[in-house]
């Protein structure tokens, strides 16, 4: 068992590769630290594997991602872990901030080993897990089961039989392909330091029906709670590139509240001897950007996507409203699949719709509340949601 810093491997990359357009103002070259760019996890995991092979010189059998908050949950079971060489003790409450502070500002950064603290922590945490009693192990299992249910753990394996198994169980992070309506909202923190940890996100979706189209009004709100933290990395601007995946063929009507930026690439790639990644080039070939609106329409994983920036300063609340249309359902039944971004918990999610004029809901899921002439689902979004309603006239 070994722990390494991804920057150590990235330093072995000799090939110059053009990064995604949205990253070109912060990095001149695409490396493994940034290749988990595709919303579909198996696509990103394959790219991670390919870059690992370029940098390490050998293959991996799979890729597993774990949300760092699960380590905090494990520390609730094992108890605190002392790291005397760093003058700290980490527990469930301070783990993420203290480790990040050591990575950003600790003594090992000057020796180009900023994540040595993670290397030193890992065997101590494993030793505590190995020596835990039966009751503690049951709690550990529960931590991982809940992590799988909430997409806080994703898996990809080159062995096709194993990959089919994790896909069937819902652990593969594949972009879902339901028959009906679909929504996925993804935030990518780009040069925003670690401010996602202190930024709350909420999403609401209002849906209206008529005989020709279904109109969706999506509202995304982010509140930056940093600014007064003793950790400087929580006091910087949160810079997020937001991508919204919706059914293929959806038409953008309007967008407001997003940040209109004019970032410039660090390199003139047309004049440089950089290679282009085939999968990334195929994605970006679908881009259609309206600079006046600050939005890019694209296609990914069989979906239409809308991409835009949200720059949120400490103490600020930023809201974006996006309206788009999809064809009206052809049968008196409406289904919607909302796919949660792995690693992200939306504390406030609301879905509201009215049936077509003159119709009433005959059957719905228990989560749907009837309030006046509206039907509403609200609460936190910590896992995928699938709902189907049927109405009659």
Number of other CB atoms surrounding residue 260 within 10 Å: 12
Position with higher pLDDT, 390 vs 282: 282
Return d(Cα 118, Cα 120) in angstroms, integer. 5
The DSSP code for 121 is: H
Give the 3-state secondary structure of residue 124.
Answer: helix
pLDDT, mean of residues 16-42: 96
pLDDT at 9 > cutoff 70: yes
283 in the Ramachandran plot: left (φ > 0), alpha (ψ -120 to 50) or beta? alpha
Quickly state the pLDDT bin for 46 (edges 50, 70, 90).
very high
pLDDT, mean of residues 266-283: 94
pLDDT at 251 > cutoff 70: yes
pLDDT, mean of residues 263-285: 94
Its pTM stands at 0.93
Q: What is the pLDDT of residues 51-82, one digit of tens each?
A: 999 999 999 999 999 998 899 999 999 999 99
Return d(Cα 130, Cα 138) in angstroms, integer. 13
Determine the pLDDT at residue 347. Answer: 87
Determine the pLDDT at residue 364. Answer: 59
Return d(Cα 350, Cα 367) in angstroms, integer. 11
pLDDT at 174 > cutoff 80: yes
pLDDT at 363 > cutoff 80: no
Q: What is the pLDDT of residues 99-134, one digit of tens each?
A: 999 988 888 777 777 788 888 999 999 999 888 888
Q: What is the pLDDT of residues 113-122, one digit of tens each?
A: 778 888 899 9
Return d(Cα 203, Cα 310) in angstroms, integer. 14
pLDDT, mean of residues 187-209: 94
| Angle between helix 69-78 and 95-105 (nearest 10) | 120
Percentage of the chain beyond pLDDT 90 is 73
The average confidence (pLDDT) of the chain is 92
Quickly state the pLDDT bin for 345 (edges 50, 70, 90).
confident
Determine the pLDDT at residue 390. Answer: 80
């Amino acid at each position: 068992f070994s722990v390494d810093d991804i920057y150590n491997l990235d330093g072995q990359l000799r090939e110059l590769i053009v990064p995604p357009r949205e990253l070109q103002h912060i990095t001149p070259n695409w490396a493994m630290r940034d290749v988990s760019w595709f919303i579909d996890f198996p696509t990103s995991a394959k790219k991670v594997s390919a870059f690992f092979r370029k940098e390490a010189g050998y293959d991996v059998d799979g890729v597993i991602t774990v949300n760092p908050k699960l380590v905090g949950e494990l520390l609730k079971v094992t108890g605190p872990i002392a790291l005397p060489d760093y003058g700290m003790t980490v527990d469930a409450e301070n783990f993420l901030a203290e480790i990040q502070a050591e990575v950003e500002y600790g003594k090992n950064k000057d020796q180009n080993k900023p994540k040595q603290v993670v290397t030193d922590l890992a065997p101590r945490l494993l030793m505590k897990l190995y020596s835990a009693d039966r009751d503690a192990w049951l709690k550990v299992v529960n931590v991982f089961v809940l992590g799988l249910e909430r997409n806080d753990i994703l898996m990809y394996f080159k062995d096709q039989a194993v990959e089919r198994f994790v896909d069937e169980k819902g652990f593969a992070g594949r972009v879902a392909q339901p028959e009906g309506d679909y929504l996925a909202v993804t935030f990518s923190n780009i040069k925003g330091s670690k401010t996602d940890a202190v930024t709350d996100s909420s999403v609401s979706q209002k849906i209206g029906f008529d005989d020709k189209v279904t109109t969706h009004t999506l509202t995304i709100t982010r509140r930056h709670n940093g600014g007064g933290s003793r950790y400087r990395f929580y006091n910087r601007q949160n810079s997020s590139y937001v991508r919204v995946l919706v059914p293929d063929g959806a038409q953008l009507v309007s967008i407001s509240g997003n940040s209109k930026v004019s970032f410039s690439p660090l390199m003139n790639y047309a004049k440089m001897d950089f290679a282009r990644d085939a999968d990334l080039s195929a994605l970006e070939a679908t881009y259609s950007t309206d600079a006046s609106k600050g939005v890019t329409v694209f296609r990914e994983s069989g979906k239409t996507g809308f991409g835009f920036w949200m720059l949120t300063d400490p103490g600020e609340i930023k809201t974006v409203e996006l309206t788009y249309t999809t064809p009206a359902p052809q049968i008196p039944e409406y289904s919607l699949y909302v796919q949660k971004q792995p690693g992200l918990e939306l504390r406030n999610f609301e879905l509201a719709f009215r049936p077509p004029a003159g119709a009433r809901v005959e059957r719905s899921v228990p989560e749907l509340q009837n309030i006046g002439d509206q039907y509403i689902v609200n609460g936190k979004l910590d896992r995928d949601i699938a709902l189907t309603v049927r109405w009659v006239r």
